[in-house]
Amino acid sequence: MSSNPEGKDRGPGRAGIRIRILGLPVDILTMEEAVARICRAWKGEQPFHVVTANLEILYSGLKDGEMARLLNGAELVTADGAGVLLAARIRGLSLPARVAGFDLMMLCLREAAQRAAPVFFLGAQPAVLQQALARAKELFPGLQIAGSHHGYFSDSEAGSVVEEIRARQPRLLCVALGAPRQEKWIFRHKGKLPPCVAIGVGGSFDVLAGRTRRAPRWMQQAGLEWLYRLLRQPSRLRRVSVIPIFLLMVLWQRLRGKV
């Protein structure tokens, strides 16, 4: 999919509109539209990669060719962070809402339970994974767990993990290996995955398992979830430091465009 000077492409989001921020794609769609799109896609014949993109992921698309290729090749790129909405606004474009990874995963699990679509959970530490599975079954009665695998496997074991996923034939594959490892994992193995929707969900299994907490709702609404996670985990400082850099780059591009 190629960019154009208007910053808009025909893409898989709302009415096919996909904007570009510094050349990187983000689909214009609400949470409800994202869920509806995913529910249609898991009936398809091909793997369907969903990236819930925050500014750290988009920034890595500027620095890392593989990330740029996977973002451009993903069937859906949602605006995970408030920073992405702000970047779009600076760009002079608008996105309707955040489509945060955890919320998206939970709504997809609810739909999967209602529509009898089997789900595979890949990622997190073994104990966390088991707790997350138990909680998911509790929250979504009828949820079909096609299979699961913890996230601490080596590159040489990746082939057998893919084989296991193929054998279990899930319709929804939640991959919680942390960004950008999970995005790269899906991208590298997409050709061998069964037809399913594969979503990178970051630390969502830890939240589902009750091991970590999301930011209070007021912080989420104020676009400060990144600050909450930084305060709880100061080692994220380096990751978070790219946010102002990315925003300044978008501002610079906008000003240059105006001149």
- The only residue of 59, 121, 205, 246 in contact with ligand UDP, by rule CB under 6 A: 205
Q: How far apart are CA 216 and CA 236, in angstroms?
A: 19
Give the phi and the psi of residue 161 in degrees, each rounded to 5: -65, -45
| Least distance CB 228 / ligand UDP (angstroms) | 12
Interface with ligand UDP includes 81 (CB under 6 A)? no
Report if residue 202 touches ligand UDP, rule: CB under 6 A. yes
State the nearest-atom distance from the C-beta of 127 to ligand UDP, in Å: 10
- Identify residues 157-176 at the interface with ligand UDP (CB under 6 A): 176
Select the span of 6-14, 155-163, 177-185, 242-250 touching ligand UDP (CB under 6 A): 177-185
User: Cβ contacts of residue 146 below 8 Å, gap of 6+?
Assistant: 118, 119, 120, 168, 169, 170, 171
> According to the binding rule CB under 6 A, does residue 178 interact with ligand UDP?
yes
- Determine if 51 is a binding residue for ligand UDP (CB under 6 A): no
- E strands in the chain: 8-10, 17-21, 24-27, 48-53, 76-79, 119-123, 145-149, 172-176, 197-200
Told to check if 136 binds ligand UDP by CB under 6 A, we report no
61 interacts with ligand UDP by CB under 6 A = no
Nearer to ligand UDP, 51 or 124 (CB): 124
Cα separation, 242 vs 121, whole angstroms: 30
Q: Which stretch binds ligand UDP (CB under 6 A): 40-48, 105-113, 120-128, 216-224?
A: 120-128
CA 105 to chain CA centroid, Å, is 9
Of the candidate residues 124, 136, 193, 196, the single one contacting ligand UDP (CB under 6 A): 124
Three-state DSSP class for residue 194:
coil
Rg (CA), the chain: 18
| 226 lines the binding site for ligand UDP (CB under 6 A) | no
- By CB under 6 A, residue 123 contacts ligand UDP: yes
Q: Is the peptide bond before 180 cis (omega within 30 degrees of 0)?
A: yes
Nearest residue (CB) to ligand UDP, 29 versus 128: 128
Is residue 206 involved in binding ligand UDP (CB under 6 A)?
yes
Give, in order, the Cα–Cα distances in Å from 121 to each of 124, 206, 232, 238.
9, 12, 25, 29
Given 13, 118, 170, 203, the residue binding ligand UDP (CB under 6 A):
203
Helix (H, G, I), strand (E, B) or coil at 199: strand
Angle at which helices 65-73 and 55-63 cross, to 10°: 120
Under the binding rule (CB under 6 A), the answer on residue 177 touching ligand UDP is yes
Out of 179, 193, 198, 199, which residue is the one contacting ligand UDP (CB under 6 A)? Answer: 179
